[in-house]
Amino acid sequence: MKVDLTIKIGGAAGQGLDTIGSVLSRTLMKCGFFVFGTQYYLSRIRGGHNTFQMRISDESIKAMDEKVDMLVALDRASIEKHLDEMTDGVVIVDMDTVKPQEEHDSLFHVPLLKIAKDTGGNKLYANSVAVGAVMGLMCLDFDVLAEVLSSIFKKKGQEVIDNNIKAARAGYDHARDNYPHGCKFGIEQPEKHHNKMLISGNEAVGLGALAAGLQFISSYPMTPSTGVMNYIAGKANKFGLVFEQAEDEIAALNMVLGASFTGARSMVTTSGGGFCLMVEALGLAGITETPVVIFQAQRPGPATGLPTMTEQGDLLFAIHAAQGEFPRCVLAPGTPQDCFYMTAKAFNIADKYQIPVIVMSDQYLADSLFTCERFDQAKISIERHLLSDEDIKGMQGEYRRYKITSSGISPRALPGQDGVLVGADSDEHDEFGHIDETQENRISMVHKRMNKLELLREEMQVPGVHGPEDAELTLIGWGSTYGPLAESVDTLNGQGHSVNLVHFTHVYPLPAEKIRKLLAGSGKKICVENNRLSQFARLLAAETGIEMYDNVVRYDGLPFTPESIIDALREKGVV
Amino acid sequence: MVSVEDYGNFDTAWCPGCGDFGILKALKKALVDLGRSPNEMLLVSGIGQAGKLPHYLKCNFFNGLHGRTLPPATAAKIVNHELTVMAIAGDGDCYGEGGNHFIHAIRRNPNVTLLVHNNQIYGLTKGQASPTSERGMKTKVNQEGVFNRQLNPLALAISQDCSFVGRGFAGDIKHLTELISKAIEHKGFSLVDILQPCVTFNKLNTFKWYSERVYEMDESEYPLNDRVKAFEKSLEWGERIPLGVLYVNERPVFGDSLDALKSGPLVRKEPKTELVNELIDGFM
């Protein structure tokens, strides 16, 4: 790659990091770069120390880098905390307002506030000045920034647009005219993208649900899942779907089950703590065989934990949650493409098997911005598996919601359809849905439900292998760690090591036989996970008997970077 | 024409003499009087003796979790508003475990009728105090008598402007039938709290106890939309207990303003997935 730059914006909550981050990342993406953005924020609306970090390249990038080339320091803490992450970089700082403790070569004064007031008449434009200065230091075409500002502030009117552009231009010119090292950070603008999008994991899940024909969603806000709820709720009227903010997560999932029972494609969104409250209703979905998609964006627990950080700590919980045994499916997307296509797929699985399907994300995947191929809606089909009115007319005898079949899947009709009465029961029930506590009935109903799990197991996708087939070292991961893992594998192979990656997105139920075959010839296996207890490694061992050589774990609330994975592997002496 | 026979006859797991029989009878009669066929009825219930009621008449039913009657009922009504959706709960179920949902259903005001079989005791778990048990009532686990103040569900509902609030008595089937009919016909969230003797575990609030106290209130005593008067009426309890409709108001109904439901039930609409491409363009 010719270009590989990391830009970090640091400041307190409320200073507009989000705006700078999103304007800049969108602009750079439009310039033709691949952009990857992550946020680090604390659970507060004002103050604290937050950052927005983006990495840009002329080639596809999958993860964050740890070294920083350009830092926009909106407060002193940003300089103090991040100066040691700088390579040979530049710190954009307004020394009229932020007084650095000591002199440093990389500090570059841009009077953000003064320029903002001079050009737009308001300090609010300081963020646009900063974005302009970054573009100026990279000696990039200003017009693209002007275009992005126009589109972002479209709703606020022409005056606001003009002022933002003026402020950004002044910041841009200031950098071009005053930076002593000229175009030191000047980068060649690649060819513009034709088919790329810049999107967060949460937005991609929301789009996937809309593409799947979502009709009803009820949720209670909880970081970091709220973005999906917000995204979908904002489109509800346009799409003719219903969103209802529930009084609590218990109500949310119970509502969604009522909606699904009555025939609407339905989902809830939550994080671990909210999922805890949904567990009772998860079992209800299991025994009533009511399809539902549960989006669960993990954050470090237990209890309130680290509300705005990341972890993959809820895997075994999701798989085992609720009393009793019943089939369920757990999918864990690793990229925004996965978020889009697998969310849509989750609805089809839920409808086909009449089970709850949990889509596991986490703060890292939920909030990060990725540059990826345009989603292709044509690849998504909507498969409802419902009895039509004609099917019902042709039926013999009284309708049985829980009819025993060889597959375990009972033909599903909806209440209100002519010629049927539909019953669902949280008690063990007979084929009609009426309470039946006999042993004979219990056994046949357990067989019926658990049969579906075995059928589903065969449909679960087996991962591909990233890197050389016959590598000496195989890294194993699941869900959001795909990017950092794939990139560390590429880096290590580039350095002459022999490493590959087997990354799981379909995490439960696992098709054991196929996985044993896939991993039969592999060398040393190391499972890399964002948790303390190597939960996926345990699951894999339990389901397939495959044991790891060792595990790499991270549980400090932060995501893996390729560097941190490689360092950990070095420490273990395997590379 | 719908007849009582259409709603079938089932063996029940209720004790002989249970007040639930009266409620079942009144409900069937009300549905027949209103000409509702089993096919258009959806009964949602929780757990407890009341929760079993939907198993004892032919209809669509969703017998869910203890306390969780109202959320699925609310959503089901949104998804198919052509169904008549009723929530069947008990006092422990609705006022204890599901108290939060009760409060928020009042706020949300779905067009759902809630029947609460209020026997002032836990029957299925054999005789513990419920939120509506009287202070001082001794039970196996409240040997010094119940300490907590008795919940007044009608006063709570009226204080929060519940759209329809009524009280019936399982021992007066004729009155209860009419009350249930009115509640079903009312557009908005309707609460029918039904005094129902538990012949096995509640030795205090017996048929005799209720019969000596309940009286049919004069529904022209005050304008039924007068919330303060209705609240005052709802506080009447003890020597005399009023039966009838205590409070009615016409509030906007949950779902009525939703565009998605304007031209027919949500369940029969095709989702507008063709708009997704437009959204995707916005990310480019």
Q: Cα–Cα distance between A103 and A80 in angstroms, integer? A: 12
| Contact check, Cβ <8 Å, B276/A207 | yes
| Contact check, Cβ <8 Å, B47/A198 | no
Q: Cα–Cα distance between A152 and A156 in angstroms, integer? A: 9
Same domain membership, residue A496 and residue A433: no
Beta sheet of B164-169, edge-to-edge order = A423-425, B60-63, B41-45, B84-90, B113-118, B190-195, B164-169, B241-248, B214-216
The tally of domains found in chain A comes to 4
Same domain membership, residue A407 and residue A527: no
Strands A369-373 and A465-466: unpaired
- Partners of A421 on chain B (C-beta within 8 Å) are 38-39, 58-60
Structural element, H or E, at residue A330: strand A329-331
Same domain membership, residue A474 and residue A431: no
Same domain membership, residue A492 and residue A545: yes
ipTM score of the complex? 0.98
Which is nearest to B18 in space by CA: B145, B196, B179, B216? B196
pLDDT one-digit tens code per residue, B228-261: 999 999 999 999 999 999 999 999 999 999 988 9
Same domain membership, residue A359 and residue A260: yes
Same domain membership, residue A213 and residue A358: yes
Task: Name the closest residue on chain A to residue B42, using Cα atoms.
Answer: A415
Domain edges within chain B: 4-257
- Partners of B76 on chain A (C-beta within 8 Å) are 258-259, 261-262, 415
- Residues A560/A481, Cβ–Cβ less than 8 Å: yes
Q: Which of A346, A379, A412 is the last residue of a domain?
A: A379
Mean pLDDT by 10 residues, chain A (575 residues): 93 88 95 94 81 95 93 94 89 94 91 95 93 97 96 93 96 96 92 93 98 98 97 96 98 98 98 98 98 98 97 98 98 98 98 98 97 97 98 95 98 98 98 98 98 98 97 98 98 98 98 97 96 98 98 97 97 97
Does residue A123 lie within any of the structural domains? yes
Q: What is the pLDDT of residue A269?
A: 98
Which of B60, B83, B258 is nearest residue A423 as measured by Cβ atoms? B60
Domain that holds residue A419: 389-459
Which is nearest to A504 in space by CA: A471, A566, A445, A461? A461
Mean pLDDT of chain B: 96
Same domain membership, residue A402 and residue A371: no
Does residue A384 lie within any of the structural domains? no
pLDDT one-digit tens code per residue, A278-324: 999 999 999 999 999 999 999 999 999 999 999 999 999 999 999 99
* Tokens describing residue B142: 């409240």
Name the stretches of chain B with pLDDT < 70: none
Q: Cα–Cα distance between A15 and A12 in angstroms, integer? A: 6
Same domain membership, residue A497 and residue A475: yes
Q: Which of A459, A482, A512 is the last residue of a domain?
A: A459
| Contact check, Cβ <8 Å, B60/A197 | no
Same domain membership, residue A301 and residue A212: yes
Cβ burial B183-192 (10 Å sphere, 16+ → b, else e): bbebebbbbb
B250–chain A nearest CA distance, Å: 22
B279–chain A nearest CA distance, Å: 8
Domain B4-257's class?
alpha beta
Q: What is the pLDDT of residue B161?
A: 98
Does residue A156 lie within any of the structural domains? yes
Which is nearest to A168 in space by CA: A140, A117, A124, A131? A131
* Tokens describing residue A567: 């360092």
Q: Which of A353, A379, A405 is the last residue of a domain?
A: A379
Mean pLDDT of chain A: 96
pLDDT one-digit tens code per residue, A447-490: 999 999 999 999 999 999 999 999 999 999 999 999 999 999 99
Which of B39, B52, B65 is nearest residue A421 as measured by Cβ atoms? B39
Percentage of residues in chain B having pLDDT higher than 90? 94
Q: What is the pLDDT of residue A31?
A: 95
Amino acid making up residue A34: F
Strands B164-169 and B190-195: parallel
Same domain membership, residue A474 and residue A453: no
Same domain membership, residue A132 and residue A233: no
Q: Is the N-terminal amide bond of A509 cis, ω within 30° of 0?
A: yes
- Partners of B94 on chain A (C-beta within 8 Å) are none
Same domain membership, residue A188 and residue A202: no
**CB-count burial class (<10 Å; 0-12, 13-18, 19+) for A338:** buried
Domain holding A189: CATH number? 3.40.920.10
| Contact check, Cβ <8 Å, A264/B59 | no
- Crossing angle of the two packed helices A226-239 and A201-211, in degrees rounded to 10: 30
DSSP readout, A49-70? EEEEEEEEESS---S--S-EEE
- Partners of B58 on chain A (C-beta within 8 Å) are 421
B16–chain A nearest CA distance, Å: 19
| Contact check, Cβ <8 Å, A414/B101 | no
pLDDT one-digit tens code per residue, B82-118: 999 999 999 999 999 999 999 999 999 999 999 999 9
